[in-house]
Amino acid sequence: MNSVEYRRLGNSGLTISAVGLGCNNLGRAGTATETQEGADAVIHASLESGITFFDVADVYGREPGLSEIMLGKALGSRRDEVVIGTKFGMDMVGANGNDFDARGSRGYIIRAVEASLRRLGTDYIDLYQFHTPDQRTPIAETLAALDDLVQAGKVRYIGHSNRSGWQIADAEFTARMQGGERFISSQNHYNLLDRRAELEVCPAAEAYGLGLLPYFPLANGLLTGKYSDGVAPEGSRLTHARTHLMHQVDYGQLREFSEFAVARDLTELQVAFSWLAAQPSVSSVIAGATRPEQVRENAQAIAWKPSVEELSELDVIFPKTPKVALF
């Protein structure tokens, strides 16, 4: 039996699990989810745990498109039970044809959506997210093309990612002026170790009723406690990717975090997830996972509701202006 919480994505009518699965590990070299068998185990454990939201992108996988293919296969006949959020707009290194660095343009979007639908093995995308701002194409053109996709039934809702506060406001007011579909979600880097989103992005998301989908919720696993003694466990992400983070992170800070969690009989992971889930604009915490047991643990990790005093204590351990910038 699962006890996952479900929330609306922003002010929209779309309901998703408040813990989702980030799918950038599917087909990632050096992980247990590099194979279809490993990916199936994680996706099936997610479904059994009550997770309904799967966040992927066309660019994910050891070659572009692979994560979408693996997600589509793993879901199989259960596709209609879930919400798939995929993305376009990062460099597909030619897989979607020549893009002239204008991946928010009408022609590119039409090619990109057809390719994602084919790879996912579906005839609709629940949430189609503009992965990163395109400096060349006016947002009005991107919005008009996305509106057409919604009218055609290929896409149900649209979201964006990696936009700054002013870019979020610009997109919102352009959509209002055009009268077409507006973005319902914003996906941005946000976790206890990196709270820059609180400066502009969180207030903008709240003001415009966007559901915030924080990415890197576990800071690549640093907030799970498994790296806190300065050693990366065998097979873990920081042994084969982003290894520099092991040298950048402040272990004293991670120790204070562990003590905070232990004092409440919680795991670090439960604190990291619950803290994000308690932020007013957050709709779903989308951690990636490489093993079914991680997913089962994550699905149950937002039950703790921090008090005002506990939030203040966390502010001291993790200041809004980070002690160390982790990139």
Ligand X SMILES: NC(=O)c1ccc[n+]([C@@H]2O[C@H](COP(=O)([O-])OP(=O)(O)OC[C@H]3O[C@@H](n4cnc5c(N)ncnc54)[C@H](OP(=O)(O)O)[C@@H]3O)[C@@H](O)[C@H]2O)c1
Active site residues: 60
* Rg of the chain taking only CA atoms, in angstroms: 19
Q: Which is nearer to ligand X, 95 or 148 (CB)?
A: 95
In eight-state DSSP terms, residue 99 is -
* Cβ proximity to ligand X, 281 vs 298, nearer residue: 298
| C-alpha distance from residue 284 to each of 29, 182, 294, 306 (Å) | 26, 19, 17, 17
Q: In whole angstroms, how close is the CB of 179 to ligand X at the nearest point?
A: 27
| Minimum CB–partner distance for residue 237 and ligand X (Å) | 4
Spatial CA neighbour of 189 closest among 167, 211, 214: 214
Nearer CB in complex with ligand X: 89/180: 89
Q: Quick check: helix, strand or coil at residue 60?
A: coil
Shortest distance (Å) from residue 178 CB to ligand X: 24
Tokens 């206890």 locate to 192
Are 31 and 22 in contact by the 8 Å Cβ rule? The answer is no
Token pair 């997830």 is found at 273
Q: Residue 64: CA atoms inside 13 Å, Cβ hemisphere, count?
A: 16
Least distance in angstroms from the C-beta of 33 to ligand X: 8
Nearer to ligand X, 177 or 231 (CB): 231
Please state, in angstroms and rounded to a whole number, the distance separating the CA atoms of residues 214 and 316: 21
3-state helix, strand, coil in the chain (%, to 5): 40, 15, 45
Residues of this chain that interact with ligand X (CB under 6 A) are 22-25, 31, 55, 131, 161-162, 187, 215-221, 224, 226, 236-237, 269, 286-290, 294, 297-298
Min dist CB 28 to ligand X, Å, is 8
- Residue among 38, 27, 72 nearest 54 (CA): 72
Q: Residue 64 or 288: which CB sits closer to ligand X?
A: 288
**Kind of pairing between the strands at 185-189 and 211-215:** parallel
